[in-house]
Amino acid sequence: MSTASPTATGGAGSQPGSGAPGSRPHGPVAGRISLAEIVHRYGADDPVIDGLALNIEPGEFVCLVGPSGCGKTTLLKLVAGFEFPEGGQVVVDGSRVSRPAGDRAVVFQQPNLFPWLSVRGNVELGPKLSGVSKEDRRMVSDHLLEMVGLADAADKKPWELSGGMQQRCAIARALATDPSIVLMDEPFGALDAITRERLQDELLEIWRQSRATVVFVTHGVEEALYLGTRVVVMGDRPGRILLDLPIGSYGAETGGEVRRSVRDSAAFLDLKRQVRDTIAGARKELS
């Protein structure tokens, strides 16, 4: 994400992170993911994912929904480079994924912050590892902490924060390497409903500013429809794609008050039913 782009932030910092990964130019070009004929299994069991193909364009907000055990998280791990498929290819921006890297940031279900570092230290670790100077790191973290609303908590330790604030910090940390792809694995799953809704809106705001590709795993159908520009419904045994629903942008593109009312619109409820029926239908087939 162009965390350092002045246009995206309304001028917070003139040229932060010049020479940093923050300055890597990527418009709509970077952030393409292609998965082809993916087969993946754990041990000698039946494959978790079998013959899955999925292409994601730069700047899309793709939500993966499906029952637990359908391989959503596995898919995310394959793109992140934490695991490698038994068959098929994971290609990101033209090159095959061989290891995790800063261009593919991950936000986990648990915040997974480093407890020995301050909030700021957590955010700055990514740039630090790639050799960004202290001043530039500071500028990146100032900007990101402002963006996620943690500017006042910069010097606190992660365990002094609430769950929602920790997850905000995790998002800021993920954005600090200026990734073209952000992979999110049920990031709001452990939060209470009110905090979750607030963070959903904040995430959309961040995405609108940065235009990175987001792959968002959830088992909340409503969350998927609200956030995504495209909802991919997966079935289990083996993991495969049941429904690929380009919905444009129900929540994503619109701003402020409009978004809230979207949840209750008839079209939204229609889509929700469609997704639910797909999942239920696949369930019936299996049994």
Which residues here bind another protein, judged by CB under 8 A?
80-82, 99-102, 104-106, 108, 110, 112, 114-116, 125-126, 129-130, 157-159, 173-174, 176-177
Smaller CB separation from another protein, 99 or 284: 99
87 DSSP β-pair partners: 39
Buried b / exposed e across 60-72, counting CB within 10 Å, b at 16+?
A: bbbbbbbbeebbb
245, 275 in Cβ contact below 8 A?
yes
State the minimum distance, in angstroms, from the CB of residue 78 to another protein: 13
242: closest CA among 9, 65, 31?
65
Smaller CB separation from another protein, 105 or 271: 105
Q: Which two tokens stand for residue 72?
A: 């959503």
Smaller CB separation from another protein, 29 or 129: 129
61 DSSP β-pair partners: 214
State the minimum distance, in angstroms, from the CB of residue 118 to another protein: 11
State the minimum distance, in angstroms, from the CB of residue 272 to another protein: 31
State the minimum distance, in angstroms, from the CB of residue 34 to another protein: 20
Smaller CB separation from another protein, 19 or 281: 19
State the minimum distance, in angstroms, from the CB of residue 258 to another protein: 34
Distances (CA, A) of 22 to 1, 144, 249, 260: 8, 12, 27, 32
Distances (CA, A) of 70 to 40, 43, 81, 156: 12, 16, 19, 38
- With residues binned 3-state (H G I as helix, E B as strand, rest as coil), the percentages for the chain, rounded to 5, are 40, 20, 40
Smaller CB separation from another protein, 80 or 247: 80
> Residue 222: helix, strand or coil by DSSP?
helix
The DSSP string of 152-200 is: GGTTS-GGGS-HHHHHHHHHHHHHTT--SEEEEESTTTTS-HHHHHHHH
Smaller CB separation from another protein, 60 or 124: 124
State the minimum distance, in angstroms, from the CB of residue 280 to another protein: 32
State the minimum distance, in angstroms, from the CB of residue 58 to another protein: 19
Smaller CB separation from another protein, 38 or 184: 184
Smaller CB separation from another protein, 104 or 211: 104
State the minimum distance, in angstroms, from the CB of residue 226 to another protein: 26
The DSSP string of 25-94 is: --SSSS--EEEEEEEE-STTS--SEEEEEEEE-TT-EEEEE--TTSSHHHHHHHHHTSS--SEEEEEETT
